[in-house]
Amino acid sequence: DTGVSQDPRHKITKRGQNVTFRCDPISEHNRLYWYRQTLGQGPEFLTYFQNEAQLEKSRLLSDRFSAERPKGSFSTLEIQRTEQGDSAMYLCASSPGLAGGLGTGELFFGEGSRLTVL
Amino acid sequence: AQKVTQAQTEISVVEKEDVTLDCVYETRDTTYYLFWYKQPPSGELVFLIRRNSFDEQNEISGRYSWNFQKSTSSFNFTITASQVVDSAVYFCALSEAYNTDKLIFGTGTRLQVFP
């Protein structure tokens, strides 16, 4: 099954360290999303890509966060100088999109990368 | 601003009981979309349904049904004859018409179905 895969599944790091998460979307999907979920909350939108172009970034995404999708396939989310408040589950999702650049809202999520900052 | 409220934090039922999960939303848009997603213990969110703001017809899919009422800004989800496999966290979500994939989620309702 070629669903959305994320790596690593768990990451424990010390405050101030940099971390990088990788997401491999479903191969034929041109849209890729990053969401963040903290305990007891719903996912919050961070950013999304249409092919290799990053089209929108949430205000939640501080300057310490950067996301890339260099060839329109996999994506990376890097957090620099991690803080304890960055501890969360980072979810990646993809969708096929529609003609005209519209989305469908039917997102295919990965199992997430859980970050713990000590 | 857009907002989704799921007032029920946790619901416990016994197998075969019917259960309704409530969802109330706020938006100033006239065109918008509503969704339900399921998050089982494995953590992977699974899409259940999408509804646009112009379609108020109720929908039934097997044991699942959805009731959309614009007059009360609600989009409730009913599971009939619940099963243990229905145990999960259920999220209601809202999106704007300009970007249907940018979802605003509620805080979720944890459903526990006991045998």
B45 with A109: Cβ contact below 8 A: yes
**Closest CA of chain B from A43, distance in Å:** 6
In sequence order, what are the beta bridge partners of B99?
A: B96
A103: pLDDT confidence band, cut at 50, 70 and 90? Answer: low
Q: Above 80 in pLDDT, residue A49?
A: yes
Asked if B41 has any chain A CB less than 8 Å from its own CB, the reply is no
Q: Above 90 in pLDDT, residue B101?
A: no
Q: So what's the pLDDT on residue B100?
A: 74
A1: pLDDT confidence band, cut at 50, 70 and 90? Answer: low
CA distance B23 to B5: 6
Residues of A in contact with B50 (CB under 8 A): 104-106
Lowest mean pLDDT among A46-55, A78-87, B66-75, B97-106: B97-106
B101 with A105: Cβ contact below 8 A: yes
CA distance A95 to A79: 24
Q: So what's the pLDDT on residue B96?
A: 78
Mean pLDDT, all residues of chain B? 93
DSSP readout, chain B?
--EEE----EEEEETT--EEE--EEE-S-SSEEEEEEEE-TT---EEEEEEETT----EEETTEEEEEEGGGTEEEEEESS--GGG-EEEEEEEEETTEEEEEEE---EEEEEE-
B42 with A111: Cβ contact below 8 A: yes
CA-nearest of B72, B78, B104 to B8 is B78
Best to test chain A binding among B23, B101, B103, B104 (most A CBs inside 10 Å) = B101
CA-nearest of B109, B81, B80 to B93 is B109
Average pLDDT in the A87-92 region? Answer: 97
Peptide bond into A8 cis (omega under 30): yes
Q: Above 90 in pLDDT, residue B1?
A: no
Q: So what's the pLDDT on residue B93?
A: 96
